[in-house]
A and B are shown apart, each in its own frame.
Chain A
Amino acid sequence: MSQPQAVPAGAARAAASIEHPLDVALPYDIRPRAAKAVRDIQLQQFVANATTVKDRGRRDAFRAAFGARADQVRELAGRIKQHTLDHLDWYLDRFISAAQAAGVTVHLARDAAEANRICLRLAKDYGSKLCVKSKSMVTEEIGLVPELQAAGVETIETDLGEFIIQLDHDAPSHIVTPMIHKDRAAVGRAFQRELGVPYTEDPLTLAGIARDYLRQKYREADLGISGANFLVAKTGSIVLCTNEGNGRFCTSAPPVQIAVAGIEKLIPRMEHLGVMLKVLARSATAQPLTCYTHIITGPARERERGGPQAVHLVLLDNGRSEILREETRELLRCIRCGACLNACPVYRKIGGHSYGSVYSGPIGAVITPLLKGVANYPDLPHASSLCGACYQACPVKIDLPSQLIGLRQRMVRTRVTGWRERLAFRAWAWSLRQTWSYRWMAKVQRWALRRMARHDGLSGGDSTPMTSSGWIQKGPGPIAGWTSQRDFPAPAATSFREWWEGRGPSS
């Protein structure tokens, strides 16, 4: 196996020249990226294949394990999280005491800046030079890695997917499968460029190179950073689920560990962990359990060989206590399994980067505007057909379509929705409140649309009064978007109600 010859010294140089996919101008306009993504054949194939396979796998895994009771299991998992959130202050207190008793130093961070400050200060206090990091969405959310790098702490992502993303100066496009959008060739090129190894596309060889490279880093690292999948209130434990064992290395090889976790990661007791682990692994990767489930309760004890001497936990709010309000609280049940992304027909078409933020897919479309302001991400709540596939997939039963609608309501209330649209909807709604105006509007519409339509003899070409007939190929104003993609059917000559009125007394 070829040995990597150089550390990724090119990282800083290249990072400066390549635009980061998640650096977006606000307010974020989803359209240009979405339009590009739907024309990107490779992205279409990769994302569609991977998500379809995962979505099917999840359903099969649930069915195999729980049969007809799959729904009840989701209900239970959702209730466990909801209960914890309903009493979050109590469970936080309990967790903090238990974690401190176990020897963990707990830090509270109000926002991203504070969390990063805490981590940087710790790194400085311990004199850290090299940090190995396991996969964590929350550290992506606060942008921790660039800050550490800037402060002179070389920080290496050790999850294979994240490692590749980091090497290639890319950004994760899926919360579980970060490099879902990348192909082997891109990986081979990144390895060649950044690690100085001969070009190869062979997955095993590439994984071997990464493995050797990372092993060396684990030995040298003086700091380990992780996220947390769950925090167990009763015992003060941090639970990490991984498939590569890298999380275990990161949290046991270096002398100091920092875990960063959102306050919503709490569950009451160990017995609840069983349920949560079962639904998480099945939802995320269709596995019965992830290969490694690491439960960390404090630093290494006396007579224990290995394990960190110091464990720090940064509990992050960063907008979560705002989401905790009643209408949106259920969103904090999220266990970041990615099932809603895999099920989402929109995500399948536009990929993760189109969401313009760390969290993508249906859950991202809801929490990004909540965390960063709806006015900054006005498209996200609307770029959904509300098909409900996400709701059906979610292992903790978050009603994502209703949450999207809730955000749309918020946009109307706070006038993020423009006045033209507000006026149009109000006028339309008013016209529907009287039968006469409804009929009159419908008649005008039918007349206007039928005038625009062409009859071309293909399906629907002939005129029959009771069916849609003819098509509009290039529509004006409100239907221009529609006809840019597909034809618009002309209405029927006679409406149903005209038919009903003309049919005489019913038999």
Chain B
Amino acid sequence: MKVSLFITCLGDSFYPRAGIAAVRVLERLGYKVDFPAEQTCCGQPMYNNGFRDEARPLARRMIEVFGPSEAVVTNSGSCAAMIRDYYPGLFEGEPAAQERARQLAAKTFEFAEFLVKVARVDLRAVAARRAERVTYHYSCHLRGIGVTDEAEQVLRQIGGLEYVPLAMPEQCCGFGGTFATKYPDISGAMVRDKVGQIRATGASTCVSSDPGCTMNISGACHRAAASVQFRSLAEIVAESMGLMDDVPAAGGPS
């Protein structure tokens, strides 16, 4: 099976290592991975801010670019949700385009979801190992696409890894795109709660399924001088399989 990586805007610029990790894990699992170079943005920021007419051409573009792909995998829960929850609705009254939107929605997966539901991965079989205490931030947009504990299932397959769940895993971190800049007081109060909960786990690494959440929570951790490292699930899996030794992560406390 050929899998196309959808890197997303934030993933491309801020977290390329997560993309590299996804490519390596998928290749190790036997998939042929490609990266359609014409891809840009799924249109989520426009759509969420009420700019539906601006989001539509971007959706059309994505549908075009990923048309030939067998499956599309992304490290961002919210971008996956944009495609799955909202693309078909953007083409109300355009049956042909809507059908293509549905097809893209049906073959688009968030990384953890793909590992569990499509690849049916068992990391124990490849003796994946990483001795570390890890917690996991559940990105809210996974709700809409029916992704629940897939990432936790994967984390529990990594040998030596001690997984400590957050006290309130389903509570939003306060990112919400422009919400974080438009309503900083509210958003800031929300993310400080999250930092407190992460601290309480004593984990040295927090795994996150969305680059937006990662920017927000890691920024708040940094402001609060909480030394927690952030990884996408792809990175932690790749590291546990020994695939990332040549691509160092941003170091923890120096």
Contacts and interface: CB of A to CB of B under 8 A. Distances in A.
B79 interface: no
B63 to A, nearest CB: 13
B185 A462 contact: no
A366 to B, nearest CB: 13
B128 interface: no
Interface string B203-244: 000000000000110111111010111100000000000000
B191 to A, nearest CB: 6
A218 B17 CA distance: 70
Interface residues of B, number: 83
Contacts of B9: 432, 442
Interface in B44-67: 45-52, 54-55, 57-58, 61
Nearest to A422: B51
B88 interface: no
A478 B170 CA distance: 28
B251 interface: yes
B253 interface: yes
B172 A405 contact: no
Nearest to B176: A385
B247 interface: yes
B220 A485 contact: yes
Contact of A446 (B13, B176, B184): B13
Contacts of A473: 223
A459 B251 contact: yes
A442 B50 CA distance: 23
A446 B49 CA distance: 23
A506 to B, nearest CB: 7
B218 A489 contact: yes
Contact of B13 (A391, A459, A478, A495): A495
Interface in A295-341: none
A412 B14 CA distance: 30
B13 A389 contact: no
Contacts of B143: 387-389, 391-392
B190 to A, nearest CB: 6
A467 B211 CA distance: 12
Contacts of A434: 40
Contact of A458 (B19, B182, B222): B222
Nearest to B61: A433
B219 A481 contact: no
Contacts of A501: 37
B223 A486 contact: yes
Nearest to B11: A496
B12 to A, nearest CB: 5
B221 A412 contact: no
> Which of the four size classes fits the interface of chain A?
35 or more
B189 A38 contact: yes
Given A405-B47, A459-B221, A485-B220, A494 B16 contact: yes
Interface string A467-507: 11101010000111110111111011011110111000011
Interface stretch (B28-36, B98-106, B112-120, B153-161): B28-36
B247 to A, nearest CB: 5
Interface string A115-149: 00000000000000000000000000000000000
Contacts of B182: 382-383, 481
B163 interface: no
A442 B49 CA distance: 21
Given A388-B141, A432-B58, 9 more contacts: A432-B9, A432-B40, A458-B225, A460-B222, A464-B248, A467-B16, A482-B184, A487-B223, A500-B35
Interface of B: 7, 9, 11-17, 19-20, 23, 27, 32-35, 37-41, 43, 45-52, 54-55, 57-58, 61, 140-141, 143-144, 168, 170-172, 174-191, 215-216, 218-223, 225, 227-230, 247-254
24 contacts: A386-B140, A387-B143, A387-B176, A389-B143, A409-B52, A412-B50, A422-B51, A425-B45, A432-B9, A435-B40, A442-B13, A458-B225, A459-B218, A459-B227, A460-B222, A461-B254, A466-B20, A466-B247, A481-B182, A485-B180, A486-B220, A492-B17, A497-B12, A506-B33
